[in-house]
Structures are given as C-alpha cells and as structure tokens.
Structure 1
Amino acid sequence: MRALLFAAAGLVLAGPLAAQEVVRTERAAFRIAPVAQGLEHPWGLAFLPNGWMLVTERPGRVRLVGADGRLSAPLGGLPETVARSQGGMLDIALHPEFAQNGLVYLCQVQAGEGGFSSTLVRARFAESRFEGAETLFAAEPRATTGQHFGCRLAFGPDGMIYMGLGDRGRMDRSQDLADHNGSLLRLTPDGRVPPDNPFVGRTDARPEIWSWGHRNIQGLAVRPGTGQVWLHEHGPQGGDEVNLIKRGANYGWPRVTHGVNYGGGQITPHTALPGMEDPVHVWTPSIAPSGMAFYEGDAFPGWRGNILVGALRSRLLVRLTLEGDRVVAEERIPTFGERIRDVRVGPDGRVYLLTDDSRGAIWRLDPA
C-alpha cells in the first residue's frame, strides 16, 4: 500500500542536505537534520496520523512528504490560488477527527469581485489528491493589495476553527468591525458563525470576528491544557507582538503600537490605551515572527511549556518561557541562517522548521 501510494502521488527522493553540528542552548542540545528539500517557499505544515506530512507552497501547491523525506508531485483537486506578493497557498490544518473523516483545511488567497481575499477551503484528503473541495469563507471586503493576508489556522478545544487575518496593508481596517481584515475569526468546521461569537446580532460588525485590532497575524496556537488562544503578529518597524486572545477584545492596531513607520515617523504616540489589550511580549526591533508552537514533547524536556517562534528577519528560532500568562524569559537560538516560516512539533516530539526560500526545505531538530 505504501509503495502504491508513493507511486500514485509521483513521489521522488529529495536531494541530500548536510546536517549541522551540535547546537547547545540553555536547556537543550540538538542537531539540525534535513527532512526534505526542493520546496518553493513552503508556508504551512500538518502531520498526518501515520507521521507523513502535508506541506503548502506559497505559489499554489500542496505536497505530501513521506516519513523518509520523499516529496510528491503537487496534489490536485483544490481551487485556484492567487500567488501574488505575500499571497498564495498559505496555512494548512487537519480536522480534529481527521483519522475518521479525512478533512483538511487550507487558508489560500483567491480572486473575486473587487480583488483578492484570504479564504478558508475544506477538502477531503484522498492519498494522491484532494476531493470535494469547497470554499467555506472569504474575507470581505476584498482588496487589490498584495500584503498582510495573515492566514494562520488553528482548531480550538471547542471544535471551532480560528483564522488569523492581516490588515491588507491598510491599517484603518483593523479598527473597523465591519471589515474582516485585521481580525482573528472564529468559525464552525463548516464555515458558519458560532452563535456565541461576541458580535453576533450587531449590524455594525462582522459576526465571524473573535478579536480585532491586529496588524498581520503570522503565528497562531492553542496552549495545551488551557484552551487559551495565543497569536503573534508583525509590527511595522518594531513592535512585533505576542498576544493572549480574549473574546471580543481590541488589540489596538494602529491606535496602539510599539513600532514606527518604515523609515521612521510616528504612527501613534500610544503604546497603551484604556479598553485595548496590551501585548504579552514585544520585539523591538522586529524579528518578523512566523510560525508558533507550544512545546509539550519528550525530545526536549527542558522546553516543555515554552513557546517556540520562528523568525524571518532575524533568521533564528526563539524560545519564550512562561510563568502563568507572562513571558519571563527569551532565548534566541541560532539555526542555519535562513528565514524560518513555520514551526511545528511532530508526533515524535521533535521540532520541525520550514525555510522560506525559492529552494526551501523542511528541517528537524534532533536531541543531541
């Protein structure tokens, strides 16, 4: 069966990559091992129950990755993606009952009347392709700008899917409840509005919104054992934020920020305002965080309970130590000097990294 699947999917062996020397950190030592290469701007990663992976490529593809690193040809059956600037085929998440229903969720940019928008797509994984794909939700209003699509996905313990969006390069959108962009959305698994969402019944607000006032959400994760939704978002020049999400809360952008305009110039004099939530952690200067995971595995016991964050601009892995709901320490861990787009913890307890490059790859941190 395994051989037939690989043949059907057109899998080929990824080329060799050199493993790195031992990296020693405050609470762990590891080697960086290659998993797969030959990926064009990989963006999101999901582990299948058998340990294989589904990985998205921003130009509009999804591939299957074998446990031995073999890459499939692009899997068919998905709607057309607009791969423009920062947009394309972005995040991917499995339904909590994937083993029974085979459902996969993708956040991809699609064209529509008025421009492009981040959309939520659901399809059934059928080994060498997807079947029954449908677009469940499209952010409105659309725009022709090519930046700040957000597009991170995560299922909560309540069974709802959370979808993080960016402001599409127009900061005013984040303070407009009639605009999906610049918000964290909460949807049922079939794309409907949960009746307990905070703005249900208001004529001046989109009912899908769970929190608002975000600039560009690039990391999204649920803290194990708590049900808490955490995210991080890009600031402008400075002011990247980690936020603990509260129902219906306003996170301030652009009325509140620790950053300034690119090239200098004040956006707002305020780093805090009444009625707006303060970030749990701020990076100034920016690291351009991307990807986010809570670590609870056995491979690195010293990291349990910590947040792991990739960095595009700073090209490293960041480990945040928590006490309660506060970040009390930060460790910046050098890896291999490439832009890290996503961070995931595998079923084996190891940490997997995606590198954002035209010759991108999947790497694994193995305990040393």
Structure 2
Amino acid sequence: MNLIQRFLPLLLFLGISTLAKSCTPKDEDGTPNEPITEIKFTTKTEKLTVKVDTLYSAFQNPWGMTWIGDGKMLVTERKGEILIFKDDKYTGQKVQGLPAVYANGQAGLLDITVHPDFAQNGWIYIAYAKPVPGGGATTVARFKLNGNTVASFEDLIVTTPAWNGGTHYGSRIVFDNQKFLYFTNGERGSQNNAQNLTNSHGKVHRIHDDGRIPADNPFVNTANAVPSIWTYGNRNPQGMIYDQANNRIWSVEHGPKGGDELNLIEKGKNYGWPVITYGQNYNGTPITNITEKEGMEQPVKYWVPSIATCGMTLVTSDKYPAWKGNILVAALAGTHISRVEMNGTKATGEEKLLPGIGRVRQVSQSPDGFIYAITEGTGLLIKLLPAS
C-alpha cells in the first residue's frame, strides 16, 4: 500500500496532511522514501485557507533551498548534493563538481543562497562542513555555475577549531541591505564554546561578500577574539532571516530539552548559552538555575517543550495577506510549521500549520512570493498556495 492509499481517508476527512512516518528524533542519514506520485489538498488555518501541493517526495536529508532565475530552484542534501528543479519539477539533474563534505551526523552540506546581485555576478553561496585535519569545520564558500557544473569555487571563511564529531554545525546564511553576509555556527555540543570569543563556535558571524572581515565588527580589536564574530552565546542556530524593510536579523536556535529560542540578532550581544536557558539537560537535570542575567539577551519567544526549530522565513508576500509580517519557523521534532505573529519585535501569537507533515527542515518564500517547505522523514518539497 502506498502513502496516498494509506492516508487518503484522513486527507479527505480532515483536510490536512498526516504524512509523517515514524522517524528518529536525531539528525541521522535516512533512506529514500516511498515515492508519492501526487498529493494536493486544501487546509483551513486560523486566518487563511491554503492549498498544499507536493512537488517532490524523495529527499533524504534536505537542508537549504534558493532560486537562481529562469524558473530554477536549487535544494541541498546534507550528504553533499544539490538537486536542480525547474518550474516546480525535479529535472533529474544535480550540480556537478561540488567539494567533498564532512558528512557526520548533523554535519554536511547545509545552507544555500544567492548574492543580492546574483543576476549581475552569478555568485551562489553555501555553508558546509569542510573536511579538515581533526574533523570538520563549518565553512562558507561561493561558486558560479557553468551549466550544471561548479566554476570559480572558493572558500571564504573556515571556522575554528576543527571538530571531530557531528553535533551542532549550524548553519544558515543571509545578506543584509549593505550586502554583508551573516552565517550561524553551532557550539558543537560543547557548551562553553558559546561564551569563548577565541573560537568560532556558538556564534553568529559577519563577513564581506568576498570573505573579508568588516572593520566595524564588534570584536575586531578584542585580543585573541575571532574577528568575524557578530554575536555569541548562541547554542545551535539553524534558522536565520533578514527583514529588509526594518533592517533586522531574526534567528531561531535549538535549546536542549526545552528552551528553543527566537532571537533578534544585534551587534555584539550575548545570547546567554549556557549561562541562562529555559531548557534542561536531556536527562532532566538542570543546566543552570537562572533564566536571566544582566548583559545577556532574553529571547523574543521560547518554546517549552522544544519543537526543534530549524529554517525560517518572514512573510512579505501579498499572496498571503493574513500572514503578512508573520515569521514561519520550521519544526523538526514538532513536524509542523510554526506561524509566529509579530508586532514589531514582539511575538504576540502562534499557530501550528500542517501538523504531521514531517520533520520540517526549511521554509522559504520564493522571489515570486510563494511559500515552500522541505521535510525529512517524509522527504517532501511542498508549495503553499492561497486558496481562491
């Protein structure tokens, strides 16, 4: 029995997707999912009725997506592949000539995005775990495409120190209005890294689009500090988005057992991990006995229990008027998309969208204003269409 036959009664009766198959809560390499030929359904949310269109169903561990014009979209697989889609269909082709990745647990090929001037310069940016002596290193690189083949590849920044393990590599990439590049890097599961300015881990970083360090970064004149650091005290931020209209950067990061956070990312600030947190160790013991401390930022929103926050997008499209200004957050353990209502920099409400759709790794708004999401476990690429 295929997935359509198995779940069609629920799809018809409930009007929502319940596609999630049993999957482990850890980020482990999966196997190809049972093919789904086509699933489309309509679901009524609190403020908007949307049609959900399944465009693809055979991902293993998808991570990031971006659009490169001419109807083409690129989606990364953590094992080191970039799949090429055109006009919402998989072409059967993959980008050729990519570097080897350190594929270990949560490490591998991660985010992908294009330069703000991509139409003029053709630069595509990736975050990946680079194999280095001693293990892996979260690395930001850029390249161009000659047909489907990588050209002009260059690493821009390699985080330090190398790490032998597959835990908490981040990573997301965004550009701001001045074309500075920001990327996230997890603390590798070693808590004290996040407060230590002499290493790259547990931080958000800022560089020029060619890898140079901006002269006005907050710690460029601090002795022994990594000069690319923009913020610190971040546990494992796997989501980040730039609000162009308001010149704001938002990030979500994984808490331990509880304590996932939505943060407003601002220059030089300390986001507290592991000194303050709303979470606890996985065995139920406390990490700390405080949730606030002077000089450390409070999250704009936090989740207890954890939903395992991942990719995110800000809805700016007129295609979803009732959601405009909301932040959509991918939930891995929650197997849904969290719609967070915002009033300026305050979170005022939340709704769970598409519960059971799978471990949502990323949710993105395309250049033409439509919302897409990719999932693990169920292996889906879905597109949300406003119902007429």
Q: Tell me if both proteins adopt one fold, taking TM over 0.5 as the criterion.
A: yes
Asked whether 1:148 is paired with 2:163, we answer no
Root mean square deviation of aligned Cα: 1.4
**Which SS does the other structure have where 2:247 is aligned?**
coil
Residue 293 (structure 1) aligned to one of 285, 306, 313:
313
Q: CA deviation at 1:300?
A: 1.0
2:126 matched to which residue of 1? 106
Structure 1's 72 and 97: CA in aligned 2 closer, same or farther, altered over 3 A? farther
| Secondary structure, aligned partner of 2:194 | helix
Structure 2 match to 1:270 = 290
* One-letter amino acid matched to 1:277: E
Does residue 75 of the first structure (1) align with residue 101 of the second (2)? no
Deviation at 1:127? 2.6
1:125 corresponding residue in structure 2: 145
Structure 1 letter corresponding to 2:49: A
Question: Structure 2 matches for 1:164-243, cutoff 5 A?
Answer: 164-243=184-263
Matches within 5 A, 1:1-368: 16-357=36-377, 360-368=379-387
CA distance in 1, matches of 2:352, 2:75: 26
Q: 1:135 to 1:64 in 2, by over 3 A?
A: same
2:155 alignment partner, SS class: strand
Local SS of the residue matching 2:221 = coil
Equivalent residue, structure 2, for 1:10: none
Q: Within 1, Cα distance between the matches of 2:177 and 2:217?
A: 15
Give the gaps of 5 or more residues in structure 1: 1-13
> Does the aligned pair in 1 maintain the 2:171–2:239 contact within 8 Å?
no
Return the offset for 1:15.
6.2
Deviation at 1:50, TM superposition (A): 2.2
Post-superposition shift, 1:336?
4.5
**4+ runs of 1 displaced by more than 4 Å?**
none
The answer as to whether partners of 1:145 and 1:169 remain within 8 angstroms in 2 is no
Name the SS for the 1:48 alignment partner: strand
Corresponding letter in the other structure for 1:61: E
TM-score w.r.t. the length of structure 1 is: 0.93
Gaps of 5+ in 2: 1-33
Distance 2:192 2:237 in 1: 16
How far, CA to CA, are the matches of 2:357 and 2:209 in structure 1? 38
Question: What are the Cα deviations for residues 318-368 of structure 1, in whole angstroms up to 9, with x where unaligned?
Answer: 1111111100111111254311000001123221000123x6221101112
Aligned-pair CA distance for 1:82: 1.3
Q: Is contact 1:77-1:133 (8 Å) kept?
A: no
Separation in structure 2 between the aligned mates of residue 33 and residue 167 of structure 1, nearest angstrom: 36
Stretch moving more, 282-291 or 35-44: 35-44
The Cα offsets for residues 223-266 of structure 1, whole Å up to 9 and x where unpaired, read as: 13011111000000000000001100000000010000002000
Q: CA deviation at 1:24?
A: 0.7
Judging changes above 3 Å, is the alpha-carbon distance between structure 1 residues 24 and 160 closer, same or farther for their aligned structure 2 residues?
same
1:186 partner amino acid: R
Q: TM-score when scaled to structure 2?
A: 0.89
